[in-house]
Structure 1
Amino acid sequence: MSPFRLPDSQLEQLLHDDAPCGDATTHALAIGQLPGKMVFRARYDMVVCGSEEAQRLGELRGLQAVGAVVASGTRLPAGAEILTLEGDAAALHLVWKTAQTLMEYLSGIATSAADIVTAARQADPAASVVCTRKNFPGTKQAAMKAVLCAGASPHRLSLSETLLVFAEHRAFLGAEAPAESLARLRRQWPERALVVEVASEAEALDWAAAGADILQLEKWSPAAVDRLHRQIPATRLAAAGGVNAGNAAAYVQTGALILVSSAPYFAAPRDVAVSITPLA
């Protein structure tokens, strides 16, 4: 089931971007008032996302959905129908590419994220996949919908609600001990988990001893993660950097039950086939 829908204001902006002064071709051909229908189908296997937005884009221009609309997060086989819209040709052509492209990009993210989740949970049902904030600027809400539909979660929705200490932060702390830095963070943000990204085993052991809740291991090999987990089994480990469906199980098997990935944002869109035909 879809976790939320993009607001009408965003959808209106998408439509305006594609046709700021209307559809010149449809207008010039004088076919705008003729009735028709538009059918969206999965061209290949996919986890669909954005179907609710596609439906709403149509409704904003007077189109009506016919039959059931497949919910975001549903895994579909090739050829499966997602959505059918009916109305006048002007609205059909106006909505067509915006609805199609939005679903294609979001379904690409959702399918990639779902594949990582599946691989991780086959290794351990307790594993979690979290997706970074490395989505294309300006697309956060849409990208987060795709991530959530896939069964993954946001890694960091924003800098304002998460604590993640990087080496770039520590460069400004001088000789301050890890325990003192963490104590200051806990006083300021008592309800937040303290996450520290570490680059070496020595750093990891220091920050674990200081009380870090989670250690983020950037571009560590599964073998290196496994060695660390055996030394500090009570500390939660998050594997990050290059995590994908092909290596997710290997990381989970080392004890890193949190997988941090940006891969879904760079996945190829999942093609959505569209047919537009006149109604008799």
Structure 2
Amino acid sequence: MIFIPQALTDAWLQEDIYGGDVTTRALGIGDIPGRIIFCHRKGGCVSGIVAGRQMLCALGLSVTTLACDGERVAPGQALLTASGCAAALHQGWKAVQNVLEWSCGVSGYLSDMLAVLRQRHPDGHIACTRKAIPGTKLLATQAVIAAGGLIHRAGCAETVLLFANHRRFLANNQAWRDIVDRLRRAAPEKKIVVEADTPDEAMAALAAAPDLIQLDKFTPDQALQVAKQAAMTAPDCSLALTGGITSASLPEYLDCGIRLFVTSAPYYATPADIGVRLIPENSTQ
């Protein structure tokens, strides 16, 4: 589980309820006890449960968790329920729904991608990049892990990743072996990852034997040729595919000989359909 500070979940609440719920106040129903139920209308892999619970508890509500992050729920299954006064219930409603809808959208999308990949390659992996929507990094990280994915690179200090934008600042930016050796000497505790933008760059990078080569926006045929060459000339060098990897494009790459896919697509998935029902305590409605 990813630790999400209380200050952050409080801030998500505050964005919506800084002035309270004027409708509840105007109706004079704020003190009436009631319940709120969040359910996943279509079902799928869920995330955001822990964050949602934290938000509801901050409002003084009594919360029951009915599903766990990473669980695959059935259509209509309840995720969270809480009880307390109507004022607090209405204040938690939309803020928590928003967190659940976005988080479950990410985890559901990635879970479905992994199901397609692992039906063909049980040892396959999908890693999500650091290009999450600003302000959502912790929720995104939790959703990726919940779905069974990997975090490709949480930040630029985490791994050594050589891009063309780095190489352009070097006097000899085609000296792949010299560059890789330089990186190994400077960061001996890190794996050396390089990105190749063309098949020629990939072949040159293979000769330098980094730990991993990312193939950016390669076609399935191009990726297959690099994978064949890697098996012969650099068997200890892993390969990953990145750039345009989505649920729609993934099936095209299942026979290219590469088992690691890098993507940002889950962060932009359609939010899940989370239904919310508020009812007075002891109501039969």
Q: TM-score, normalised by structure 2?
A: 0.93
Q: Distance in 2 between matches of 1:148 and 1:253?
A: 26
**Are the equivalent residues in 1 in contact too, given 2:46–2:107 (CA < 8 A)?**
yes
**Are the equivalent residues in 2 in contact too, given 1:217–1:237 (CA < 8 A)?**
yes
Q: Distance in 1 between matches of 2:168 and 2:3?
A: 41
1:80-104 CA-partner distances (Å, limit 9, x unpaired): 1111111000100000000111000
Match in the other structure for 1:215 = 213
In structure 2, which of residues 120, 123, 131 is the aligned counterpart of residue 123 of structure 1? Answer: 120
Q: Choose 154-163 or 251-260, whichever is displaced more.
A: 251-260
Q: Choose 218-227 or 173-182, whichever is displaced more.
A: 173-182
In structure 2, which of residues 59, 72, 77 is the aligned counterpart of residue 75 of structure 1? Answer: 72
SS at match of 2:109: helix
Identical counterparts, % of pairs: 36
Match in the other structure for 1:164 = 161
Report how many residues are paired: 277
Match in the other structure for 1:37 = 35
Match in the other structure for 1:134 = 131
Q: Distance in 2 between matches of 1:143 and 1:279?
A: 34
Q: Distance in 2 between matches of 1:27 and 1:141?
A: 33
**Are the equivalent residues in 2 in contact too, given 1:220–1:239 (CA < 8 A)?**
yes
**Are the equivalent residues in 2 in contact too, given 1:47–1:76 (CA < 8 A)?**
yes
Q: Distance in 2 between matches of 1:150 and 1:120?
A: 13
Unaligned runs of 5+ in 1: none
Q: Which amino acid aligns with 2:88?
A: A
Structure 1 position 221, deviation (Å): 1.0
In structure 2, which of residues 57, 62, 65 is the aligned counterpart of residue 64 of structure 1? Answer: 62
Structure 1 position 216, deviation (Å): 0.7
Q: Distance in 2 between matches of 1:40 and 1:27?
A: 23
Q: Distance in 1 between matches of 2:53 and 2:172?
A: 57
State the Cα RMSD in Å: 1.4
SS at match of 2:204: helix
Match in the other structure for 2:273 = 271
Q: Distance in 2 between matches of 1:212 and 1:273?
A: 48
Structure 1 position 192, deviation (Å): 1.3
After TM superposition, the runs of 4+ consecutive aligned structure 1 residues lying more than 6 A away are none
Q: Distance in 1 between matches of 2:222 and 2:143?
A: 31
Match in the other structure for 1:18 = 16
Structure 1 position 184, deviation (Å): 1.4
Match in the other structure for 1:146 = 143
Unaligned runs of 5+ in 2: none
